[in-house]
Amino acid sequence: MDKPADYRHTIELRPSWQTRALNALLRLSARRRVSQESDVAVLRRAYEEIDARYFQVARDVLRTPVDCGGVPAEWVTLPESRHERVILYLHGGSFAFRFPNAHAALVSRLCRRLGARALIPDYRLAPEYPFPAAPDDCHRAYRALIAQGLDPRNIVLAGDSAGGNLALVTLQRVRAAGEALPSCAVLLSPALDCTMTSPSMADYDGLDPVLQLRTLLVLRRCYVQSPQQYIDPEVSPLFADFRGFPPLFLQAGSSEMLRDEAVRAADKAHAAGVDVELEIWPEVPHTFQVAAFLPEATSAIDHIARFVGRRTGWGDAGA
């Protein structure tokens, strides 16, 4: 039997009762609502309600709106945040939605573990602003951080779902421009292939408690105007040249539709000589890290902090 690749890690844990309960709840409520709606405006209102009702940020977290290179953004800072340590976090939401409380809460937990602060760009959304508006804004935000005098070795690029896509596209653009790359990148359940041809996309359609192929196809048309663009590496960064990328850390659920996009990206990064680690977590939902009450989410944040601490040289982080 072939030995598993040493950069791939399957987390050997039985799913917690909290994860099993959340999956059941998502299947009964959120997923049913999404499957019945294809109007982006209606979905936005529903998601705004969910974000406001169910996600809260700790009282000691300071959220400060700023302009970052012409891109509206929000700084997330804690009392223990060190000014020089920055996470540039690109939020998910199918390129069409925002979850400001959910992402601020997630990022604040990571900042607390790393003694860092985070910038969350409010990049332009589809369908009002289709590709390439979002990657344009993300690259501008990164350039603005560098222009402020921040050391790129103290910048961590991170993102979930569509934000993971934008993180890899930002790396491509930074590399192509000859600019200094960040220390590492963290991709959580990344959506990396707009052709949607990974085996898990079909295998788990109807089983994934969060995502559904029908809705993803509608949202893809909002973001990308022409099917010929689906294989563009700036639309589907899975088709990019990974050579020269900084260290990459990926997490995905074992039974989510985007699982194989994370697996394929890790394999491609490894083949290109990139320092990469992939974790597959059993039966957790898409972007499970946002659900702070899940034991798996707490452990996942610890694993991210450990990886980042080692690649950044932040000696007191991730211990």
The catalytic site residues sit at 161, 256, 286
CA dist., res. 92 & res. 269, Å (int): 22
First to last CA, the chain: 35
Cα(108)–Cα(114) distance, integer angstroms: 10
CB 167 within 8 A of CB 294: no
Which residues, in sequence order, are CB contacts of 76 under 8 Å at separation 6+?
61, 62, 63, 89, 104, 107, 108, 111, 117, 118, 119, 120
Grouping H, G, I as helix, E, B as strand and the rest as coil, residue 94 is coil
- DSSP 8-state code for residue 173: H
- Half-sphere exposure (CA, 13 Å, Cβ side) for 158? 30
- CA separation for the pair 314, 3 (Å, rounded): 33
Cβ 162 vs Cβ 133: under 8 Å: no
- Cα–Cα distance between 99 and 117 in angstroms, integer? 19
